[in-house]
Structure 1
Amino acid sequence: MRQALCGLLVLAALVAASRVDPASAQAGAAPPFVFTGIPDQDESRLVERFGRVAAYLEGRLGVPVKYIPVKNYPAAVTAFTNGQVQLAWFGGFTGVQARRAVPGSAAIAQGAEDAAFKTYLIANVRTGLKPSADLPPAIAGRTFTFGSRASTSGRLMPEYFIRQAFPGKTPEQVFARVGFSGDHSRTIQLVQSGAFEVGAVDYAVWDLDAKAGKVDLGAVTVIWESPTFPDYQWTVRGDVDARYGAGFTERLRAALIGIADPAILEPFGRSKFVPVDNAAYDSLIKVGASTGLLD
């Protein structure tokens, strides 16, 4: 009798152990899909917008999705290169760097505004610099800050335009002092405070910060708007189909371009996301080579 009872208990335990919660089974079917984004602006805004993206993608892709922050632009490229993340919201230049380091990776979506992006040159009003259709020669001799060293709209393209406006001279030869703020929101604050007289900033971040009341238009103003260039995009590693199943990359692309919730789009300063491919950023490779910023 005791042996029979023990046998029944063991059988019951085995049956219970074989019952797997459907949610747990789904979560265990694939490793978490992890992504990051360049820290181009205020950290609280990054957490807000990428947290919403993670929740949205998890619902659309059927796998756990996790956002991890990084400290700077190169750290985003490194995380992508070493496989710590499978997807990243890169600037144009960091995307080029990442895809060159990880063969098979692909740009799959960009903001509708990113095909024709712009840099603003901003100045502290005490400089007396006025808005100009051409890059103002009077910025020469001023103190100047870029954003991150690897930023497209905060360094690569403004340096290119500055070199065009002042042939044969580097920014260090044009300005009294050159700095790197690290991100666009910080650039605005440095120029607004007078720590630097002039700076280069992503126009979308300027618009977002102005809308949020973080820009004192009595202290800092836009003095020049650049020609357009391709910029931000979502880039995915080429090994995700092997990890998450055939067709995963296209499902991911469809999910990104399917984002319609203003609560997700507005923190990006984008109206929608649209398909894109690597070739859209070929011009940045040429600019990077011409300025010596890309090997």
Structure 2
Amino acid sequence: MKQSLPDSIVTPDHRDHALLSTIAADITARAGGPEALATQFAAMLRRCVDDVIMTPKTGRRSYEELEKTEKTYIGTRVEIELRAMLRLPRGKLDTVVQGHDVDIKNTMHSNWMIPTEAVDHPCILVAADEVRARCYLGLIVARPDYLTAGQNKDAKKSVSAQGFANILWLLRHHPYPANFWRTVPPEIIPQIFAGASGNQRMAALFRHIQGTPITRDVVEAVAQQQDFMRRIRSDKGRGTRDLLAREGIALLSGHYDAPLIAALGLPHCTGSEFVSYRPVTQEQADLAAVHGVVLDWA
């Protein structure tokens, strides 16, 4: 998405304000409030993109590696997931909000392509910026004077530079969970995936990336096994947790080890996240032992 976006001019005296503010209020209420909308929306977008990349099955780690048809499918997936998230019905266009037919448009770039059937109708505009880890949710009435004069071969037009000011934003430049693999130094990735077994790959993951919460999806991607969660537990000295403990590294679960994670001053982990850490003092090693995490530490 464009880094510089004009301020919205959709104020009470704007011709689209009444319609768009009504739709915005309904969307926000359906999500459970502004904070819930922001949290659910960002997570939904991340899931839609990652589920198409399919790192566990394909080994691909970024949007840029997708085929053209897969990139197109992300838009369809977002439409389906957004309707489900907000419990919205199907309509003549993509959905119906407060009795109005509404189109849902998604982009991973800097603009949206508006089909002819959506012209003069309200549109829900969705965007994900993979590079800057930001997401966007806006509303616009796709009036002809908000759209470009030119069109593509399918007669679709995009929002004009001036048209952007007529977007009512629900979320703009909002933080969006980064693609995990973009945060990993490129030279580390081959080392993580070089292991011949799931345990070896996961041990490499948590050995190289410490102090950072890692999601269950990433664990699955690295394990490349159906019973990947078994690999992360202690397993008669053979599990990933056992391997790392012998190296003095604690592998902690946000669900089971939250008190120890907090005591060590590590970032908060959700119940489905994991974090590894090598104690740097004897007191930290003793603290881990008190919480039942015994390490070979010196």
User: Shorter chain as normaliser: what TM range?
Assistant: under 0.3
- Structure ranking higher in helix proportion: 1
TM-score of the superposed pair, with normalisation by structure 2: 0.26
User: RCO higher in 1 or 2 (8 Å CA, sep ≥ 6)?
Assistant: 1
TM-score (norm 1): 0.26
